[in-house]
Structure 1
Amino acid sequence: MSWVGLIPLLPLLAALTIGIRMVTGSAKGETGELTTARIGVWMNLGALLLLLVVDGIALFSGTPPVATLGTWFESGPLQVSISFTLDALSLPVATLVALIAFLTQRFSVNYLHREAGFHRFFFGMSLFTGGMLLIVLSGNAVLAFTGWELAGVSSYLLIGYAYERPIATGNALRAFVTNRVGDAGFLLGIVLAVLWLGTVEWAEMGIRAAEFGTLTAGMLALGFVVAAMAKSALVPFSPWVARALEGPTPSSAIFYGSLMIHAGVYLLIRLQPILEQSPLMMGLIAAIGLLTALYGWFGGLVQTDTKSSLMFATTTQVGLMVVACGLGWFTVAAWYLALHASWRAYQFLVSPSYLEKVGHESHDKAPSRSRGLYTAAIQRFWLEAIADWLLMRPTQSLASDVNTFDQRVVNRLVGLPDTSIGPIRLDSAAASGRDVVRAHGAAGQLLQWAARWLNAFEQHLVFRGDGRLNRVLKRLGGYLFTVESLLERPVYLLLLIMATFAVIL
């Protein structure tokens, strides 16, 4: 099964090829759409066909539970392998991921025809497909984290698909910052696994965690649970996913309707041997899932557009899957995940047609009772405001401070002009005696001093009509003009040619 690594590699190669074509300018405009679409769709289809072959081998002759292709890196006793899990959980989910990704990309060929970001979209979709296949098929936490990051980056790129719109870029920033919290939790889980268990392989982690007891298993699972909460938009990380619908409908369907929103649930199912060692963590997961389901249900009741209603319904269903994991019904959660992903992808993809038939969005009215609950649902239980206060505002403040430091300190040190100073009119600057260019930093000051000295030399010695240097230059110019006029005469020109031949011979 050494060729199983081609399954996630094919979509990543598609993303690389499309990216190279975008950089070189060959993927540009409507003329390059067909080639870009073929690269993305056919590479994805290749991954799906390979998965179907592996599924057939697993059904009729069996496959090894883990296929190890080699060593990625090792440091001391720690060794991280390039390994893929081929069990009854990963293969069906991976096949579903490849199938939904293929259908969505094929749907997008016509849906995004003549869009300015057509090539960027297929780049992001191919990158996301490869990342999701890595998450599902990886045999260890480090390889899964690689796919985790690829899926997050592609999500950020496609939420900000219309990057000229501040709302789109702001929502992309919300999703990016929130998921960084989950990434920190995932890294914490990897570090604890290395320190306490000495391995990052999923199968070995479950076996060794049972030897360390309940407390160790709970602490180890905590980081991964935080990662699952952020990626699957569980309370209190739920607000970002409704904002993520700013991207095109196909990306909303595959990211937040069917696949990436379930990545956290899949991670919890994969951690079943570890979670079962900590009843307290299981109870916490069930409580978080229940709160998420209630949040999605109440929030969905007050939505007035189709995509937001579908997104809150997805949040509710994901919360119920997490409840099933917390109660120990991991097999039920896996079946629930597959069925819901298939149905929700279909709903998101047909939502534009539904809107075209209906012709307008629905509008709700405030109920006469439970106005407090209605207000809380409209405000999304103020989780969004809290997230902005805790995550968005500090990030934006840090970015503003870094930009100010760059303008006022770094630019001046290297001698770049200060962009905060407006343009200077050349005529007004010359009339007032001011410098046309304002220098900053040591290099800038030195260049400005040299420019001033040369300007003084020109003004006092060259441009003045009564200057001694000017008289000398005029006399020298007269001599040169006389020589030039003599050389233009035919006699002197013929003499010059004969002298040239004499020198050559």
Structure 2
Amino acid sequence: MSDLAQFGSFLGALAILCPFALVVILGLPALAGAPVTERAADRACRCLIATGLAATLGVLLVMLATGERHLVVNLGNWVTIASHGGADHGHYHFAIKFEFDRLSVPLALLSFALCGTIAAFATRYLHREPGYNRFFVLFSVFLAGMVTASLADTIETLFAGWELVGLSSALLVAFFQERANPARNGFRVWIVYRVSDAALLFAAVALHHMTGEGDFDKLMAARSWPDGQTTLTEGQALLIGSLLLLAAMGKSALVPFSGWLPRAMEGPTPSSAVFYGALSVHLGAFLLLRLSPLIAVSPPLAVAIVAVGLLTALYAHLAGTVQTDIKSALSFASLSQVGLIVAEIGAGHWEPFMWYVALTHLLGHACLRTLQFVRAPSLLRDYRELENALGARLPQQAGPLAVAPGRWRAWLYRFALERGYLDAVLGDYVAAPFVKLFKLFDRWERQWTAFLNQEGASDAPARPALPKPPPDERPAPALAPAPPAPEAVESGS
């Protein structure tokens, strides 16, 4: 390895470690009960995010100078299980590997740039907020998760970053703990994320079972994105790809898991901007882009991805037209574009150039939505000032409900107002049957446990009776004489 390549590996490791250093600097004092000051948190965010951004740019320059299309940074193994022959390398291992290529570098740069922008905005927006330090601790965890997931070269490393992003997102939705609604919505987001995490975990296990490893570069035959070619069969690619699609549907709020996205707007504006407008909501699309070789060999998987994307875009556009608050309207606008991005990824099966289109669409849309969410608190004021200056209401654009036939207009309006009845359908036909099933299992378990306890009590040998203690031969204490009754006091005249 040349000196320039070694320098690139050093810069890559530096870019990876900067977010975790921020977590340590902000998190450890908070755990010790002595959180850092607002000024110290601001300086730490500025310094480490700028360092990570500069290091990632340095890796990009090194790759351009050396002509390398991907650069791998290996930080060792999480777990190593020795083979039966005692080989040093190990029969089964989880490697902590990161890859800088044409897909991961743009998303890492986007993560550092947008998180730096939001950090500078949040220091002023949340000034003297009681949860100021808690916000920045969770914000640093989110940044660490995004960088880990975007640069991961193994599915285990990606899963670790995926979990950090989900945990910080759900906790920031419930940021305002003094109100019940944010906590309830944060819990709902966490439930959907659990479904997504389970699908990704099953996909990782299936990938290890079918290929013997979870490295992305080996899965793509050591070719850089998007030229990789998988060795999996069409059926294997369909199975793993379907699990990955389910994971992406939960993380990116695709239909039918779209109900949690407007609920996530309960969090503060900075977290809404960077999570559900820019980065977190695009993580599912990034997962599909990362494993695009599976889409290339499975036409049914590509058709399913296109169908889910287009259905999500249509649903989000209809639901967004009837929203009455700006953050919910922006969330559905984001969701409609994410649906189109997912459809473009599926179309890459027939035209691989569409994967570049999807990546460009993702980067541009993330920047636009971040700006719009940050502007949301002052946008309504500017809108009213403009109407007051004109002396009239601004003209409204005709949406799909206005041009729909009369007999369909009322139904479409109610469908959009109820947000497609997705929450009711999932609650009544998915969640409720599972709850009933688990309650049935719990009742059977209690009955079986009670039966075993009764059987054990009847089969147990009788224990010998304990001998009676010898009688106490000491004389019983004499009873104390009763106190004399008080004499009646005769009253005389």
Which TM-score applies when normalising by structure 1? 0.75
In the alignment, the residues of structure 2 paired with residue 212 and residue 87 of structure 1 have an alpha-carbon distance, to the nearest angstrom, of: 22
Deviation, structure 1 residue 376? 0.5
Residue 353 of structure 1 aligns to which amino acid in structure 2? S
**Of 248, 255, 267, which residue of structure 2 is paired with 1:235?**
255
2:235 corresponds to which residue? Answer: 215
1:18 corresponds to which residue? Answer: 26
1:11 and 1:130 in contact (8 A); partners too: yes
1:319 corresponds to which residue? Answer: 339
Correspondence list, 1:403-422, <5 A: none
Deviation, structure 1 residue 70? 2.2
- The yes-or-no answer on 1:384 pairing with 2:384 is no
2:156 corresponds to which residue? Answer: 142
**Of 81, 97, 102, which residue of structure 1 is paired with 2:111?**
97
Residue 313 of structure 1 aligns to which amino acid in structure 2? A
In the alignment, the residues of structure 2 paired with residue 377 and residue 396 of structure 1 have an alpha-carbon distance, to the nearest angstrom, of: 30
- The yes-or-no answer on 1:35 pairing with 2:43 is no
- The yes-or-no answer on 1:170 pairing with 2:184 is yes
Residue 119 of structure 1 aligns to which amino acid in structure 2? N
In the alignment, the residues of structure 2 paired with residue 23 and residue 71 of structure 1 have an alpha-carbon distance, to the nearest angstrom, of: 28
Secondary structure, aligned partner of 1:72: strand
RMSD value, Cα:
3.0
1:239 and 1:383 in contact (8 A); partners too: yes
1:69 corresponds to which residue? Answer: 75
Residue 54 of structure 1 aligns to which amino acid in structure 2? V
Secondary structure, aligned partner of 2:130: coil
2:248 and 2:287 in contact (8 A); partners too: yes
Deviation, structure 1 residue 393? 9.8
Aligned pair in 2 of structure 1 residues 359, 163: CA closer, same or farther (>3 Å)?
farther
1:285 and 1:326 in contact (8 A); partners too: yes
In the alignment, the residues of structure 2 paired with residue 113 and residue 383 of structure 1 have an alpha-carbon distance, to the nearest angstrom, of: 38
1:117 corresponds to which residue? Answer: 131
2:361 corresponds to which residue? Answer: 336
2:219 and 2:231 in contact (8 A); partners too: no
Residue 418 of structure 2 aligns to which amino acid in structure 1? Q
1:256 corresponds to which residue? Answer: 276
Aligned pair in 2 of structure 1 residues 5, 397: CA closer, same or farther (>3 Å)?
farther
In the alignment, the residues of structure 1 paired with residue 340 and residue 154 of structure 2 have an alpha-carbon distance, to the nearest angstrom, of: 27
1:44 corresponds to which residue? Answer: 49
1:59 corresponds to which residue? Answer: 64
Aligned pair in 2 of structure 1 residues 218, 255: CA closer, same or farther (>3 Å)?
same
Deviation, structure 1 residue 92? 1.4
1:349 corresponds to which residue? Answer: 374
- The yes-or-no answer on 1:282 pairing with 2:313 is no
Question: Which deviates further from its counterpart, 272-281 or 367-376?
Answer: 367-376
In the alignment, the residues of structure 1 paired with residue 105 and residue 359 of structure 2 have an alpha-carbon distance, to the nearest angstrom, of: 12
**CA deviation map 1:288-315 (0-9, x unaligned):** 0010000110001101111111110100
In the alignment, the residues of structure 2 paired with residue 293 and residue 396 of structure 1 have an alpha-carbon distance, to the nearest angstrom, of: 33
Aligned pair in 2 of structure 1 residues 398, 20: CA closer, same or farther (>3 Å)?
farther
Aligned pair in 2 of structure 1 residues 396, 339: CA closer, same or farther (>3 Å)?
farther
Correspondence list, 1:460-499, <5 A: none
**Of 95, 112, 130, which residue of structure 2 is paired with 1:81?**
95
Question: Which deviates further from its counterpart, 216-225 or 385-394?
Answer: 385-394
Aligned pair in 2 of structure 1 residues 391, 163: CA closer, same or farther (>3 Å)?
farther
1:324 and 1:332 in contact (8 A); partners too: yes
Q: For structure 1, which runs of at least 5 residues remain unmatched after alignment? A: 403-459, 467-505
1:307 and 1:348 in contact (8 A); partners too: yes
1:51 and 1:91 in contact (8 A); partners too: yes
1:205 and 1:274 in contact (8 A); partners too: no
Deviation, structure 1 residue 7? 1.9
1:159 and 1:247 in contact (8 A); partners too: yes
2:196 corresponds to which residue? Answer: 182
In the alignment, the residues of structure 2 paired with residue 351 and residue 212 of structure 1 have an alpha-carbon distance, to the nearest angstrom, of: 46
Question: Which deviates further from its counterpart, 61-70 or 360-369?
Answer: 360-369
**CA deviation map 1:396-418 (0-9, x unaligned):** 9989x99xxxxxxxxxxxxxxxx
2:72 and 2:97 in contact (8 A); partners too: yes
Deviation, structure 1 residue 54? 1.1
Deviation, structure 1 residue 2? 4.1
Question: Which deviates further from its counterpart, 44-53 or 228-237?
Answer: 44-53
2:251 and 2:280 in contact (8 A); partners too: yes
Count of aligned residue pairs for this structure pair: 404
In the alignment, the residues of structure 2 paired with residue 302 and residue 98 of structure 1 have an alpha-carbon distance, to the nearest angstrom, of: 34
Q: Identify, as 1 or 2, the structure richer in helix.
A: 1
Aligned pair in 2 of structure 1 residues 129, 395: CA closer, same or farther (>3 Å)?
farther
In the alignment, the residues of structure 1 paired with residue 435 and residue 15 of structure 2 have an alpha-carbon distance, to the nearest angstrom, of: 37
Deviation, structure 1 residue 392? 8.4
Which TM-score applies when normalising by structure 2? 0.76
Question: Which deviates further from its counterpart, 60-69 or 377-386?
Answer: 60-69
In the alignment, the residues of structure 1 paired with residue 31 and residue 342 of structure 2 have an alpha-carbon distance, to the nearest angstrom, of: 42
Secondary structure, aligned partner of 1:73: strand
Secondary structure, aligned partner of 2:220: helix
1:7 corresponds to which residue? Answer: 15
In the alignment, the residues of structure 2 paired with residue 113 and residue 94 of structure 1 have an alpha-carbon distance, to the nearest angstrom, of: 28
Secondary structure, aligned partner of 1:88: coil
Correspondence list, 1:366-445, <5 A: 370-389=409-428, 390-391=430-431
In the alignment, the residues of structure 2 paired with residue 98 and residue 234 of structure 1 have an alpha-carbon distance, to the nearest angstrom, of: 25
2:11 and 2:56 in contact (8 A); partners too: no
Residue 30 of structure 2 aligns to which amino acid in structure 1? M
In the alignment, the residues of structure 1 paired with residue 14 and residue 343 of structure 2 have an alpha-carbon distance, to the nearest angstrom, of: 35
In the alignment, the residues of structure 2 paired with residue 396 and residue 120 of structure 1 have an alpha-carbon distance, to the nearest angstrom, of: 37
Secondary structure, aligned partner of 1:211: coil
Secondary structure, aligned partner of 1:114: coil
**CA deviation map 1:66-107 (0-9, x unaligned):** 222322322342222221111111111110111000110011
In the alignment, the residues of structure 2 paired with residue 246 and residue 258 of structure 1 have an alpha-carbon distance, to the nearest angstrom, of: 16
2:254 and 2:339 in contact (8 A); partners too: yes
Secondary structure, aligned partner of 2:231: helix
In the alignment, the residues of structure 2 paired with residue 388 and residue 114 of structure 1 have an alpha-carbon distance, to the nearest angstrom, of: 39
2:173 and 2:264 in contact (8 A); partners too: yes
In the alignment, the residues of structure 2 paired with residue 266 and residue 351 of structure 1 have an alpha-carbon distance, to the nearest angstrom, of: 26
Secondary structure, aligned partner of 1:233: coil
Residue 229 of structure 1 aligns to which amino acid in structure 2? M
In the alignment, the residues of structure 2 paired with residue 397 and residue 173 of structure 1 have an alpha-carbon distance, to the nearest angstrom, of: 21
Residue 128 of structure 2 aligns to which amino acid in structure 1? R
Secondary structure, aligned partner of 1:139: coil
Secondary structure, aligned partner of 1:116: coil
Which runs of 4 or more aligned residues in structure 1 lie more than 6 Å from their structure 2 counterparts after TM superposition? 360-368, 392-399
